[in-house]
Chain A
């Protein structure tokens, strides 16, 4: 009995397909049937053309078994295309890996072939048939290593993605529609137009018999295969510490409805000069906390990490970052960067690690409406426990974007120096996440204890500076000794 399968698989659409040659069962069958010529009996639904015995692949039709993935897409020409895509994406990748994506209808053909061989030759299961992806890798990986001059590594940070699409994929999947939700007509109806996922296809194919294929499977014989190659390297991470000397600069760009509200930002002043060196699609700026617009960051500065995504270059010399750092520092006087260096992805995680435990040092310029002298100041501050534990309800000024809760925070090293009877400088070290402004004025009593309670008079804050962010990351670069002197000068003069 001549079946559709018979015609499809024996039709010499592709003699040379490795799938055919690598499968023992198939070979056996092919040998036995060598002389059977194809009938032109009308079939149920496919229009298969008979092809001249000598032709391997017709230019109009694809190899039924592998839709040309193992033919056209293992050629030297294709290899060059891969090479070009890879090198354009990232010029200096050190290794590579390949990720293949195949159209889902190949699953159907694979299952069909398995059932066919089981019926006509002998017990055949999934493992007896060669897998297209494996075959492709066998044919291509070694050659790619040679052409790219780089080793293949399964965990390489550089991934080449090759996606194969087949124009008849959807059509072939549709022939499975009747089998989907076969035991649940209601679901079948409500999902009548739903696309097929890999999982869905696999589940359906598990339960199909050879006869089901024969009766309902309609292969898209004239489909065309297309291919998209893309390549992506893991991000490049650049870390450093920044000082902020302006009281009118936000950390991130201030844009509302596409309209820029402020000229620039800390993030842009730092990242844009570096992005001239690290050419990448885009970047993400991360810092270890951040300060308000009207707060300066002095001392060693606040640690930050910039992740440059889709980098076109991944190897850099430390000197190149020294230059970039210098560029940033000369272009603006509002921001200063130090210790700029490349770090690994793992190292960059340190910036967010232990966020709750880290401490920060601040200096606040405060005023009061009831005179105070140094003696009283010292006395009152000494009377509070050290560390002092405060409870802060979410400050009203951030309540619109933060959860309503009460946070316990500890403050150590609380001291102050009088400037005149109505003004003094407050020095304090706090646990990360402490709202210092609210500790001073009390936020309608929602932060307790607060400075107005401790000093038993009205107090408010005029200016706030961050003196230190106590995190030991990134590592300090060696030529920073004279930098320390510059530090003190800069801090005093506000650059």
Chain B
């Protein structure tokens, strides 16, 4: 196999996930989240690339965790884990100039992981927004996995909507 020098290979996200967006989470303007939907229906929640925290490199003062994974969760089917609604509060991010953002689940599903690393290292949200700076991981039921997509925006629609604003 002949390898060219700088081919743009599909990234991990491009290989396994489809991007969906949720606008104005918690009714806060521009507080958009990105939901990475894996081909196995698992959803990874992140900040949208267009979120002010990233686009404007806002200085983050603190991140407060408002939810945690149920400790009684066990087994392959993650019995015991909370099945949350889109408005489930996850984090409160306090930035400079009193700009605060409340992050919600944005989808329905079992909450199986929250990212403790961002509490320790808030800068991850900006530097590794689509990597180590992820927010949470959910596993929706097969049915919800499909229904969630109806309340989210596709990448294309989102980009169009952000252009006009």
Contacts and interface: CB of A to CB of B under 8 A. Distances in A.
Given A396-B42, A460-B11, A445 B128 contact: yes
A442 interface: yes
B3 A444 contact: no
B3 A419 contact: yes
A368 to B, nearest CB: 10
A403 B40 CA distance: 15
Contact of A399 (B42, B128, B131): B42
A421 interface: yes
Interface in A395-437: 396-404, 419-423
B41 A400 contact: yes
Given A404-B73, A419-B3, A399 B112 contact: yes
Contacts of B6: 369, 422
B5 A400 contact: no
B132 interface: yes
Interface in B113-140: 113, 117, 128, 131-132, 134, 137, 139
Interface string B76-102: 101001000000000000000000000
Contacts of A399: 40, 42, 112, 137, 139
A444 B44 contact: yes
A444 B40 CA distance: 17
Contacts of A401: 76
Given A393-B113, A396-B38, A403 B76 contact: yes
A62 interface: no
A397 B12 CA distance: 11
Size category, B interface: 20 to 34
A244 to B, nearest CB: 18
Contact of A460 (B9, B41, B76): B9
Contact of B137 (A396, A441, A445, A460): A396
B79 to A, nearest CB: 10
Given A422-B5, A423-B3, A403 B131 contact: no
Interface footprint category on A: 20 to 34
B3 A420 contact: yes
A26 interface: no
Contact of A444 (B5, B41, B134): B134
A400 B75 CA distance: 11
Contact of B5 (A402, A421, A443, A445): A421
Contacts of B38: 396-397
Contacts of B134: 444
A441 B117 CA distance: 17
Nearest to A445: B132
Contacts of B69: 404
B133 to A, nearest CB: 8
Contacts of B76: 401-403
B131 A400 contact: no
A460 B9 CA distance: 9
A462 interface: yes
Nearest to B16: A397
A367 interface: yes
Nearest to B131: A444
A421 B38 CA distance: 31
Contacts of A444: 44, 131-132, 134
Given A396-B38, A397-B16, A442 B113 contact: no
A369 B16 CA distance: 20
A486 B12 CA distance: 36
Contacts of A460: 9, 11-12
B27 interface: no
B74 interface: yes
A400 B81 CA distance: 13
Contacts of B5: 420-422
B139 A400 contact: yes
A404 B12 contact: no
Interface of A: 367, 369, 393, 396-404, 419-423, 441-445, 460, 462
13 contacts: A367-B9, A396-B16, A396-B38, A396-B42, A398-B40, A403-B76, A404-B81, A420-B3, A422-B3, A444-B132, A445-B132, A460-B9, A460-B11
Closest 4 A/B residue pairs (Cβ)? A445-B132, A400-B40, A423-B3, A444-B134
